[in-house]
């Protein structure tokens, strides 16, 4: 069985790492490259950079941040936020990213998934899905959780996989930043509907939450941010809980 992954997310704006609750109330955390290196040393399996800057200058600065970070990392780096074309994806990959994560642009033009997969390989293409619970199921949102679509999250995940995405980054907007635990129902529904890895995001606060979402064929990886940034929980503690639960895990050297 493949090791279950613990992924640290760094929301980047104007060259700094930020963190919020339900995509709002942002506060500054620190330098992206420095934090990425710190989390790698603590045992993180991957790092995700999400560009949350709303203006063009934030997007323009991101390749330099990615390059500076990739030079120091030996674990995979995924970059997302503002990637709207194959050219954008190529820029980030050339800067040192291992994978690119795309959300709003593939909702507008789903064929971008196939174009990117054909050019760079499916393993490089992560379909990012931000979902909020509705009366029946979950609705997909774009543009940092601000814009509702008519898409059902589970059906959209199936479409993304069919178009060539190599992985799904699934974020529960309802749980984002709450540290009350991942949305297990949402994660299960998507994971059971696709044959590609699913990364659970939104709500992780401790090792028990991670064990829950990674057990019984649910997600392949768990992504966390705020609890790690505030040091209320560490990567080591999460992995110790995973080991205790019998989950396959890569321990830090």
Give catalytic status of residue 11 as yes or no.
Answer: yes
Give catalytic status of residue 216 as yes or no.
Answer: no
Contact 214, 4 (CB under 8 A): yes
Q: Which of 236, 240, 235, 245 is nearest to 213 (CA)?
A: 245
pLDDT confidence band for 61 (50 / 70 / 90): confident
Which residue of the set 45, 88, 130, 176 is catalytic? 130
Report how far residue 28's alpha carbon sits from residue 39's, in angstroms, rounded to the nearest whole number.
17
Q: What is the pLDDT of residues 209-223, one digit of tens each?
A: 999 999 987 899 999
Which residue of the set 11, 45, 88, 152 is catalytic? 11
Angle between helices 111-120 and 86-95 (to 10 degrees): 40
Q: What is the pLDDT of residues 119-152, one digit of tens each?
A: 999 999 999 999 999 988 999 999 888 899 999 9
């Amino acid at each position: 069985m493949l090791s279950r992954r613990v992924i640290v997310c760094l929301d980047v704006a104007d060259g700094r790492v930020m963190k919020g609750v339900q995509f709002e109330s942002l506060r500054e955390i620190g330098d992206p490259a420095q934090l990425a290196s710190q989390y790698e040393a603590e045992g993180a399996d991957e790092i995700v950079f999400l560009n949350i800057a709303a203006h063009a200058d934030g997007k323009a600065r991101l390749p330099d941040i990615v390059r500076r970070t990739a030079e120091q990392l030996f674990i995979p780096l995924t970059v997302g936020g503002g990637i709207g074309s194959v050219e954008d994806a190529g820029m980030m990959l050339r800067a040192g990213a291992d994978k690119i994560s795309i959300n709003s642009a593939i909702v507008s033009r789903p064929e971008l998934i196939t174009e990117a997969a054909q050019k760079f390989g499916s393993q490089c293409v992560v379909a990012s899905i931000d979902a909020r619970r509705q009366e029946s199921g979950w609705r997909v949102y774009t543009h940092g959780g601000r814009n509702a679509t008519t898409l059902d999250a589970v059906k959209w995940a199936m479409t993304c996989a069919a178009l060539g995405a190599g992985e799904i980054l699934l974020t529960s907007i309802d749980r984002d930043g709450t540290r009350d635990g991942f949305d297990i129902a949402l994660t299960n529904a998507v994971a059971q509907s696709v044959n590609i890895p699913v990364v659970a995001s939104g709500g992780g606060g401790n090792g028990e939450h991670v064990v829950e979402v990674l057990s019984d064929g649910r997600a392949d990886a768990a992504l966390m941010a705020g609890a790690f940034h505030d040091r209320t929980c560490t990567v080591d503690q999460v992995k110790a809980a995973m080991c205790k639960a019998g989950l396959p895990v890569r321990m830090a050297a």
